[in-house]
Amino acid sequence: MSMSKILDYIIVAVGIAAFGYHMLTTQVLMVGSYEHQTIHLMFVVTLIFLGAVRLSTSVSARLWYLSMLGLGLFATAYIYLNLSHLEMVIGFPETIDVIVGVILMLVVLEGTRQAWGNIMPCVIVFFVAYFFLGQYLPEPFYHRPFNFSYVVSYLSVGLSGIYGNFLSISANYVFLFVIFGALLEILRVHGLFRELGQAAGRVFRGGPGQTAVISSAMVGTVTGAAVANVAITGAFTIPYMKQTGYKPHIAAAIEATASTGGQLMPPVMGAAAFLMASFIGVSYASVMAASLIPALLYFWGCMLSVQLIAVRENIRAPRAPIDVRLIFRRLPLFLIPLGVLVVMLLMQYSANLAAFWAIIVAVVLSYISSDTRPTFKELAECLSRGAVIGAQIGIALAGVGMMAQALITTGMGTKVASVVEMLSGGSLALALVITMIVSIILGLGIPTSAAYALVAIVVVPVLIEMGVTPISAHFFAFYFAVVSAITPPVALASLAGAGIAGADYVKTSLYAFMIALAGFIIPFLVVYNPVLVLEPDDWAHGVFALIAVPIGMSTLAMAIFNCALTMFSLYERVLAIVSTALIVAFLVLRHDSGLPFEYPVLGIGLLIFAVLMMGQMRKRKAETTALPKAQPIGQSYAEPDPTR
Instruction: Name the nearest CA neighbour of 568 among 616, 629, 631, 618.
Output: 616
C-alpha atoms less than 13 angstroms from C-alpha of 59 in its C-beta half-sphere:
0
What local confidence, expressed as pLDDT, does residue 613 receive? 94
Angle (nearest 5°) at CA 549 between 548 and 550: 100
Q: Print the SS3 string covering 469-512.
A: CHHHHHHHHHHHHHHHHHCCCCCHHHHHHHHHHCCCHHHHHHHH
The Cα 544–Cα 552 span in angstroms is 12
Nearest to residue 450, comparing CAs of 397, 501, 494? 397
Average pLDDT, the chain: 86
CB atoms within 10 A of CB 218: 23
For the stretch 128-179, pLDDT in tens is 999 999 888 888 788 888 999 999 999 999 888 899 788 998 898 889 988 9
Mean pLDDT throughout 200-209? 72
For residue 636, name the pLDDT band (cuts at 50, 70, 90): very low
* Structural contact between residues 323 and 195, judged by C-beta atoms closer than 8 angstroms: yes
422-436 exposure pattern, b = at least 16 Cβ within 10 A, e = fewer: eebeeebeebbebbb
Assign 284 a pLDDT band (cuts: 50, 70, 90): confident
- Residues of the chain with pLDDT > 90: what percent? 32
The answer to whether residue 319 scores a pLDDT higher than 60 is yes
Q: What is the pLDDT of residues 405-435, one digit of tens each?
A: 998 888 887 888 888 888 888 888 899 998 8
Confidence of residue 639 (pLDDT cuts 50, 70, 90): very low
Q: What is the mean pLDDT of residues 215-237?
A: 80
Using the predicted structure, report yes or no on whether residue 185 has a pLDDT greater than 80: no
pLDDT score at 629: 54
Q: Please give the pLDDT value at position 196.
A: 77
| pLDDT (0 to 100) of residue 318 | 65
**Residue 529 DSSP label:** -
Which of these, 193, 223, 212, 235, lies nearest to 331 by C-alpha position? 193
Cα–Cα distance, 138 to 496 (Å, whole number): 42
C-alpha distances in Å from residue 603, one per residue of 280, 551, 599: 36, 12, 6
Is 635's pLDDT higher than 50?
no
- On the question of pLDDT at 633 being above 50, the answer is no
- Cβ contacts of 540 within 8 Å, gap of 6 or more: none
The predicted structure's pLDDT at residue 116: 84
As beta bridge partners, residue 567 has: 563
pLDDT of residue 104: 96
Determine the average pLDDT of the residues in 325-331.
84
Enumerate residues 6+ apart whose C-beta is below 8 A from 543. 531
- Per-residue model confidence (pLDDT) at position 627: 53
Average pLDDT over residues 616-629: 76
216 pLDDT band, cuts 50/70/90, is confident
**Mean pLDDT on 572-583:** 94
Burial class (CB in 10 A: 0-12, 13-18, 19+), 269: buried
Q: Is the pLDDT of residue 512 over 60?
A: yes
With 50 as the cut, is the pLDDT of residue 81 above it? yes
pLDDT tier for residue 219 given thresholds of 50, 70 and 90: confident
- pLDDT surpassing 60 at residue 626: no
At residue 644 the predicted structure's pLDDT band, cuts being 50, 70 and 90, is very low
Cα–Cα distance measured from residue 69 to residue 111, given in angstroms and rounded to the nearest whole number: 9
pTM: 0.84
Q: Is the pLDDT of residue 637 over 50?
A: no
What mean pLDDT do residues 516-530 have?
87
d(CA 111, CA 346): 36
Confidence of residue 111 (pLDDT cuts 50, 70, 90): very high
Does the structure show a pLDDT above 60 at 559? yes
Q: How far apart are CA 169 and CA 41, in angstroms?
A: 12
Cα(254)–Cα(306) distance, rounded to whole angstroms?
7
Contact present, 229 and 494 (Cβ < 8 Å) = no
Instruction: Label residue 597 by pLDDT band (50, 70, 90).
Output: low
